[in-house]
Amino acid sequence: MEDEEIKRLSVLLDERTMVLMERESDLEDRMEEIEAQKEELTAAVEELESKNKMLETALDDLKERNQELHQILYRASHDLRSPITSIVGILNVLEHEKLSKRQRECLGHIRDKSSQMDELLKSLSTLSKTISNEIYVSKINIDLAIRTCINDLRYLPKFSAVVIRTERKGLNEVVTDKSLLCIMIKNLIANSLTFRDPEKDGLILIRSTVFDSYFEIEITDDGEGISSSIKDKIFNMFYRGSELSTGSGLGLYIVRKIVDQLRGHIQFTTCNCETRFKIVLPHRPSQ
């Protein structure tokens, strides 16, 4: 009996030994897999770090190029306006001279082109402000800001043919960049003045609604509307959507850039010759 018990225990011991050996073998295999995965992970981390360094270098280069572009736009828009101003001054002198009909026609053509160039340079100067990404926030009286924008546009040819009304709901103070806000509002109003029926008086309604954490500005006009064929293009750089446009084609592009810069969004609707642009912007607390 003792021999049989010893044999049974010996067999049991051998079985357990085999189980342990199998487990040990499995453990070694798993350790090898873990080591291989560790090496792969280490290689992936090193590759990721390398790509991050490349991205950081590319980002630094992009910032430098962006700054260079900003400087080029700034210098071009300012330095080139000096000769344009001189040309306009000479034209003013020539208007008092005795000129033939043909000469006066040429004089008017030069004045028109000089005016277009001046508007383009002003747009480029405005564009340089949006490229700089510099934002200076403050508390702004929205009613006063809109009235100031309207008053600044009284020189435009079609201004006197349009009634501009303003409405406000909610609070009267917003927190944002005043300069960028006014550029955006003036570009939208100027756009409404440009694209309208010259044979009839028009209406532009500017409605502001101010909430605790954000505010909305809607500018609605009864002009020629926006055709479905150009809806996807109106915010493109240098795009002119109509023969009525004599501007630089940068107005709505700049508006969208400013909206993006101020972390808001813009949308528009057009129906039966009525076009409404709606802009939603968050209040940005001073830092």
Q: What is the pLDDT of residue 64?
A: 74
Whether the Cβ atoms of residue 190 and residue 196 lie closer than 8 Å to each other: no
Homologous superfamily of the 137-282 domain (CATH): Histidine kinase-like ATPase, C-terminal domain (3.30.565.10)
In this prediction the pTM is: 0.64
Write the CB contacts of 125 (distance below 8 Å, at least 6 apart in sequence): 73, 74, 77, 78
Round the average pLDDT of the chain to a whole number and report it.
Answer: 82
Among 245, 142, 140, 251, which residue's Cα sits nearest to residue 194?
A: 245
Residue found by looking up tokens 């190029």 in the block: 65
Going from N- to C-terminal start, the domains of the chain cover 80-131, 137-282
Q: What is the pLDDT of residue 242?
A: 62
Whether the Cβ atoms of residue 213 and residue 179 lie closer than 8 Å to each other: no
- Other residues' Cβ atoms within 10 Å of the Cβ of residue 119: 16
Exposure string for 73-102, b = 16+ CB within 10 A, e = fewer: bbeebeeebeebeebeeeeeeeeeeeeeee
What H or E segment, with its residue span, contains residue 265?
A: strand 265-271
Among 225, 230, 233, which residue's Cα sits nearest to residue 271?
A: 225
Alpha-helical segments (H) within the chain:
2-79, 81-94, 101-131, 142-152, 178-194, 251-261
Ranges under pLDDT 50 in the chain? 287
Write the CB contacts of 22 (distance below 8 Å, at least 6 apart in sequence): none
- Other residues' Cβ atoms within 10 Å of the Cβ of residue 211: 14
